[in-house]
Amino acid sequence: MRSIGNTGLRVQPIGLGGMPLSIQGRPDERTGRAVIEAFLAGGGNFIDTAISYCFDNTDLGHNERLIAATLKALGRTDVIVATKGGLTRPNGQWDVDCTPGWLRHCCEQSARDLGAPIALYYLHAVDPNVPLAESLGELVKLRDEGTIAAIGLSNVTARHVDEALALTPIAAVQNRCNVLEARDVKSGLVARCGELGIAYVPYSPVGGHWGHRKLAANADVARIAAKHGTSPHAIAIAWLLALGPHVLPIPGASKVASIENSLTAAALTLDTDDLAVLDRLNTPRR
């Protein structure tokens, strides 16, 4: 079990990223529920979602409602669901809107769909047109009102984290990170979060379809996977887990087999030779 920052919440080390179940190309609802059920059956208890995981603005909240309905049908009240606000989906695009009014609208709708208080609520991105203090200030109000329990940041830099910490405690940082795209590892942000007692939650932990293909074609990764009797996919997630006990990868899935494979990474122990080989995958060639 790993801690979600300073919240007192403890979860299994691998979460479920809900986005593929609700955006373009999403599976039917029956399959979506089956993926969530398989994750829970495998011991998972931490699900990541967002009000903007949907087709477009007419479909806002689709992923949250799918998760809530599945948990209700199973009678599960012990699962930690984190969600996010601050994006809009005009015609299926991803636009940032972190004005206080829109954040409150998003959060209150999410609370109706998921139930309040929301255990962890992220600012989905930093809005270049709105001071971070204004956006966070609204989330602090929502926390003080009891709508959310803890605040997180997503798609941020170390500077954003420092600016936020001057205003309020931050429980988690969620950024894109994987063995092929390790900017936050090289910059020291992953380690810094650990020092500050902040959970680091990497999304796209295998790098999406591009990452899947590249890892599958890499002979060194294939050798490490064969050594451990697993897949390159699981090896990539195990690499993230080895970065520190504060790291909580959230692989997405639209198929039952995919999330079942992701969960096996928690039982893998990569040795120093494995880690050295994998670290070189994200080292630029000179």
For the chain, what are the domain ranges? 2-208+240-267
Percent of the chain with pLDDT over 90: 98
2-208+240-267 topology per CATH: TIM Barrel (3.20.20)
* Nearest one of 84, 259, 61 to 173, comparing CA atoms: 84
CA dihedral 174, 176, 180, 182 (to 10 degrees): -60
Rounded CA-CA distance 178/172 in Å is: 17
Q: pLDDT for 247-258, tens place per residue?
A: 999 999 999 999
Query: What is the tens place of the pLDDT at every residue in 26-78?
Result: 999 999 999 999 999 999 999 999 999 999 999 999 999 999 999 999 999 99
Query: Which residues, 6+ apart, have CB-to-CB distance to 210 below 8 Å?
Result: none
User: 116 pLDDT band (50/70/90 cuts)?
Assistant: very high
pLDDT at 130 over 70: yes
203: which strand partners? Answer: 176
Beta carbons of 61 and 51 less than 8 angstroms apart: yes
Catalytic residue numbers, as ranges: 53
pLDDT at 283 over 80: no
Tell me the pTM. Answer: 0.97
pLDDT on residue 285: 44
**What is the total residue count of the chain?**
286
Of 138, 129, 139, give the one whose Cα is nearest residue 171. Answer: 139
Sheet containing strand 172-176, edge to edge, reads 16-17, 46-48, 80-85, 120-123, 151-154, 172-176, 199-203
Query: What is the model's pLDDT at position 120?
Result: 98
CA angle, 87 then 175 then 243, to 5°:
160
pLDDT in tens, 3-33: 999 999 999 999 999 999 999 999 999 999 9
Mean pLDDT, rounded, for 89-96: 98
User: Strand, coil or helix: what is 47?
Assistant: strand
Output the pLDDT for position 284.
60
Average pLDDT over residues 116-126: 98
CA angle 155, 207, 3 (to 5 degrees): 55
